[in-house]
């Protein structure tokens, strides 16, 4: 049971932080299908940083982990400016922009990884082998029956994501900036009439989305995947989009959906091991989160209420 909880949480939290980034973006009125690309580019920059700093800081250095997180967030933020410029400045079709950003990120990072490996390390691989970050156990909380499994063998990223997620929740729901951001997605002309800058707020929302997606990306690369490779683009971004939609663009319900996805994946994998099934059955059961997505879509999509101005361009002269 502890293994299911540990693995479920470690899979759910990167989905959560990317989904929160998507919530910020879409609550501002900008459609966000580029989570996959932002996650991947953030993971690329963070993994490259790990490769370069390991000889100086050591593989187990706590500083290395936090530097990787900061660089990944900066990388995701920088790459998100492409989507922000296309959607806000040039009024490009937002769905197409998201798909283009995803494709560009995968092609660019795969190319750069291969070039860097061959040029500096004499390796023809398209992967950055960065290993797995150290884990720790919370002394008292880990002794709680059943739920104590969530506090065993935790990655440092998990604590960071929970702290950032709380800050993001507070910023979105308890501050003036959060109120203006939500108004961008519901009634942008009202915000403009009240003196708010719709375009600027939307750009900031996309940048926040990029930073949070980058954080989720380095988590996946430095824990579950143990490397950066094209495999980092495995649908995790789209799973996060599904989570925020089923969470009705609200952070707390989205957290519940991400935990459901995480426990479905870890539980399915554990069930295969207990039954002694061949590896091909294990691969089959790993699609449980995606099957769950389809089932949730069937039963709950009619109750979803997206922001009213989602995907609409802001025209200041149109009321």
Question: What domains sit in the chain, N to C, each tagged with a CATH number?
Answer: 2-127+148-303 (1.10.3470)
Q: Would you state the pLDDT for residue 280?
A: 66
Residue 142 pLDDT level (bands cut at 50, 70, 90): confident
Average pLDDT, the chain: 90
Q: What is the pLDDT of residues 80-95, one digit of tens each?
A: 999 999 999 999 999 9
pLDDT above 70 (res 256)? yes
What pLDDT is attached to residue 1?
Answer: 67
The string of DSSP codes covering 67-103 is HHHHHHHHHHHHHHHHHHIIIIIS---HHHHHHHHHH
pLDDT value at position 301? Answer: 67
d(CA 202, CA 199): 5
Question: 154 exposed, middle or buried (CB, 10 Å; 0-12, 13-18, 19+)?
Answer: buried
pLDDT, residue 288, reads 67
pLDDT at 230 over 90: no
């Amino acid at each position: 049971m502890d293994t299911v909880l540990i693995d479920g949480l470690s899979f759910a939290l990167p989905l959560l932080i990317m989904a929160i980034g998507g919530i910020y973006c879409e609550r501002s009125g900008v459609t966000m299908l580029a989570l996959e690309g932002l996650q991947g580019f953030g993971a690329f920059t963070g993994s490259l940083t790990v490769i370069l700093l390991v000889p100086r800081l050591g593989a187990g250095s706590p500083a290395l982990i936090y530097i990787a997180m900061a660089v990944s967030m900066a990388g995701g933020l920088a790459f998100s400016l492409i989507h922000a410029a296309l959607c806000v400045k040039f009024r490009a079709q937002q769905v197409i922009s998201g798909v283009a950003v995803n494709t560009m990120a995968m092609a660019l990072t795969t190319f750069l990884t291969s070039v860097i490996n061959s040029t500096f390390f004499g390796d023809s691989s398209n992967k950055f082998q960065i290993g797995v970050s150290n884990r720790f156990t919370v002394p008292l909380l880990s002794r709680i029956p059943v739920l104590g499994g969530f506090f065993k063998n935790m990655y440092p990223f998990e604590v960071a994501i929970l702290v950032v997620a709380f800050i993001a929740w507070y910023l979105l729901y308890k501050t003036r900036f959060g109120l203006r951001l939500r108004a961008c997605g519901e009634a942008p002309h009202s915000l403009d009439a009240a003196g708010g800058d719709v375009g600027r707020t939307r750009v900031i929302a996309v940048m926040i989305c990029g930073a949070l997606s980058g954080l989720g990306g380095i988590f996946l690369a430095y824990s579950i995947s143990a490397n950066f490779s094209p495999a980092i683009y495995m649908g995790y971004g789209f799973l996060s989009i599904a989570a925020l939609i089923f969470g009705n663009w609200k952070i707390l319900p989205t957290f519940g959906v991400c935990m459901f996805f995480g426990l479905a994946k870890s539980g399915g994998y554990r069930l295969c091991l207990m039954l002694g099934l061949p590896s091909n059955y294990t691969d089959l059961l790993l699609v449980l989160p995606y099957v769950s997505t389809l089932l949730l879509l069937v039963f709950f999509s009619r109750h979803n209420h997206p922001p009213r101005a989602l995907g609409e361009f802001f025209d200041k002269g149109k009321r």
